[in-house]
Chain A
Amino acid sequence: MNRFAAFIKKEFRHILRDRRTVLILFGMPVVQVLLFGFVLSNEIKNAAIAVLDPSNDAESIALTNKLVSSGYFRLEKTLNTTAELEPAFRTGHIKMAVVFPPDFAASQDDNTREAPATVQLIGDASDPNTATTLINYANAVIADYQLEKAGAAPGVPVVRAETRMRYNPEQKAVFNFVPGVMTLILMLVSAMMTSITIAREKELGTMEVLLVSPLKPIHIILGKTTPYLVLTLINAAVIVMLGLLVFGMPMRGSILLLAGECVLYMFVALSLGIFISTRAKDQMGAMFMSALGLLMPTMLLSGFIFPRESMPQVLQAIGVIIPATWFNPVIKGIMIKGVGLDVLWKETLIMVAMALFFLALSMRNFKDRL
């Protein structure tokens, strides 16, 4: 026990004396959450648009005003000819253009016409996500405008869709980012940092001395991981606090259950870290392996940034073996939906299985010789 305590003490000294490690441990989670929360969001406000309105009548002006007053759009330019469209897009001043026909109001009122009134929406699809979002917003505003018109003229049956966004009525992106960042940071700290610290002992030759001592491999592994387990738990708490206090995330489920699930996820990550360290010869190798093998997939394939449903089959399959794929819905379930183990048992069991598997694998691979 004394041995073990000495090992942990030594490990804490390593961590706290290295400024870079401290910065990664405590600076990065805060910066990442704040960055993702404030700077990166997929909501769009005040997008610059141009309007080409040859009819310039009461109806077209009313629709233009409705678009601009929605808050999503800002009228950057009024165009006079179609020839001006291309340069406006090209210089990047506008993201979308609205083109009215020459006789907009007249075509609307004239029920005898074969073709109904049309408005053309042109998006700048060099950024496809933004373009799609803008076009959707514009369509919604136009549909709304149409409904109002139809309401004024009785006798036309209308279906009005009432939408309600449950659990996150304001559709705050941060509700998605906080759990996502948590999966990422916990993986980073647990897996990457442990693999690096074990690889460092190999690189500096101290592992040789540790091996030629009565320390058992399990002592070395536990001694290396315990400090990181503690620090990661602190990190998780900091991220959750930021989510609750700064971004107004709800905490509808049990906070104890969340803590328990975090520890479980950390076990998976730590055993992955140990596994990597049994393979890597030096710190660089350990870093590359964890960055490419763990962090990238956690970020890209777990469904944190891109929805898993729209991925090709192969990537979806790879996503299944990534711990974050299962941890992400657990955090969201507990914090946002307030559900318990009765709903999340499947994800939890999968993570338990992963922890056991990787722990066994890394114990098997951890050699007590060189």
Chain B
Amino acid sequence: MVEIEHISKSYDTLKAVDDVSLTVARGEIFGLIGPDGAGKTTLFRILTTLLLPDEGRATVDGLDVVRGYKQLRQRVGYMPGRFSLYQDLSVEENLEFFASVFGTSVAENYDLIAPIYVQIEPFKSRRAGALSGGMKQKLALCCALIHKPEVLFLDEPGTGVDPVSRKEFWDMLRSLRTQGLTIVVSTPYMDEAALCDRVALFQKGRIMAIDTPEGITGAFDHPLYAVRSDNMYRLLKDLRQMEGVADCYAFGEYAHLKMQQDAPAEKAMKGIRAYLESKSHQDVEISPAEASVEDCFIELMKN
């Protein structure tokens, strides 16, 4: 559905996208995971025909993004990073406008947006500017879907939205996928990676890994422990000096401790506890941890 071959794009001296190649299959939710400034938006703008690549080629739904851009614009749905709605128009007016811009009507494709639109329909005469972040996001999604696109590009849809709305949003994406829609989504939130079918880990314009979320975490081949004590700052400092430690970083309210060598968990945890107590840490808590996409991202970034 989306094929990218050796795409590069620079702004002055900054290489925003650097020799990226990837393929997205039809009916897949593909996640582009990376921090702010990784080049996700630039790549999205190239795929949605808004920017021309310096090098390489890309096709979306069989159409070249450079030469076939006019036809392609009929077939893609695009939701930019900022909520690109008309704040002074009502929910209903926004939807109507985007429908007629694509030469269709709300009634014609109502089925597609219905599950999402019913949630904001009670507020249909409210101005878009007065909606909450989560509702704006739903409206923007409706507007991007109203012309029944083949591919949906969502650039950081979760930014500025509360966790509950984010979860609802992902449920919607999953149900859209069952209708055969291909979805390419970018996000800086590592926890959202697990919700995609496949992800590309993106950093400084380059792809570090492409795989299913399970494949990514499965490739993590070091023992990992979650450790906690009464003093996080000192804990991180002390753990980094311990023998046999590969890496240690804050992870929520725990410190994630990556060991260099495999060892029986019980024995390793005992050793860590003894070490921490010798450094007079209180309330020490240690447990084995499953590697998450974020752990993999951090590992890949260091290599």
Contacts and interface: CB of A to CB of B under 8 A. Distances in A.
Contact of B50 (A2, A5, A211): A211
A83 interface: no
B96 interface: yes
B101 A204 contact: no
Nearest to B77: A212
B87 interface: yes
B58 to A, nearest CB: 14
A14 B76 contact: no
Contacts of B93: 10, 13
Contact of A13 (B70, B78, B89): B89
Contact of B49 (A3, A18, A212): A212
B154 to A, nearest CB: 13
B74 A208 contact: no
B221 interface: no
Interface string B79-122: 01111111111000100111011110000000000000000000
Contacts of B100: 2-3, 5-6
A209 B98 contact: yes
B203 interface: no
A206 B102 contact: no
A10 B85 CA distance: 12
Contacts of A209: 78, 80, 84, 98, 143-144
A210 B76 CA distance: 12
A211 B101 CA distance: 11
A15 to B, nearest CB: 10
Given A10-B89, A10-B93, A206 B50 contact: no
A123 B84 CA distance: 63
A169 interface: no
A162 B31 CA distance: 89
B124 to A, nearest CB: 15
A17 interface: yes
Interface in A1-38: 2-3, 5-7, 9-10, 13-14, 17-18
B50 A215 contact: no
A215 to B, nearest CB: 6
Nearest to A213: B101
Contacts of B85: 206
B45 interface: yes
A5 B83 CA distance: 24
Contact of A204 (B49, B81, B82, B98): B82
A3 B52 contact: no
B84 A205 contact: yes
A206 B129 CA distance: 13
B166 interface: no
Contacts of B103: 2-3, 214
A78 to B, nearest CB: 66
A198 to B, nearest CB: 14
Interface in A302-341: none
B69 to A, nearest CB: 8
A289 to B, nearest CB: 24
Q: Interface size class for chain A?
A: 20 to 34
A17 B73 CA distance: 30
B86 A370 contact: no
B300 interface: no
Q: Interface size class for chain B?
A: 20 to 34
B16 to A, nearest CB: 13
A5 B96 CA distance: 12
Nearest to B81: A205
A369 interface: yes
A245 B203 CA distance: 69
Contacts of B49: 212, 369
A122 to B, nearest CB: 61
Contact of A212 (B48, B81, B86, B97): B48
Contacts of A205: 80-84
Contacts of A210: 101
A322 B98 CA distance: 39
Contacts of A211: 50, 73
Contact of B84 (A2, A10, A204, A214): A204
A13 B87 CA distance: 11
A17 B101 contact: no
B140 to A, nearest CB: 9
Contacts of B274: none
Contacts of B88: 13-14, 17-18
A208 B101 contact: no
Nearest to B85: A206
A213 B102 contact: yes
Given A208-B78, A214-B73, A369 B96 contact: no
A223 to B, nearest CB: 10
B51 interface: yes
Nearest to B94: A10
A215 B102 CA distance: 8
Contacts of A208: 45, 50, 78, 80, 84
Nearest to A9: B97
A3 B100 CA distance: 5
Contacts of B73: 211-214
Interface string A216-246: 0000000000000000000000000000000
Contacts of A214: 70, 73-74, 101-103
A210 B73 CA distance: 10
Contacts of A2: 100, 103
Nearest to A10: B97
A234 to B, nearest CB: 22
Interface of B: 45, 48-52, 70, 73-74, 76, 78, 80-89, 93, 96-98, 100-103, 143-144
Interface of A: 2-3, 5-7, 9-10, 13-14, 17-18, 204-206, 208-215, 369-370
11 contacts: A7-B97, A7-B101, A10-B86, A10-B89, A13-B88, A13-B89, A14-B86, A204-B87, A205-B83, A209-B84, A212-B48
Q: Which 8 A-B pairs have the closest CB atoms?
A: A6-B100, A205-B84, A205-B82, A370-B50, A212-B78, A209-B84, A206-B84, A208-B80
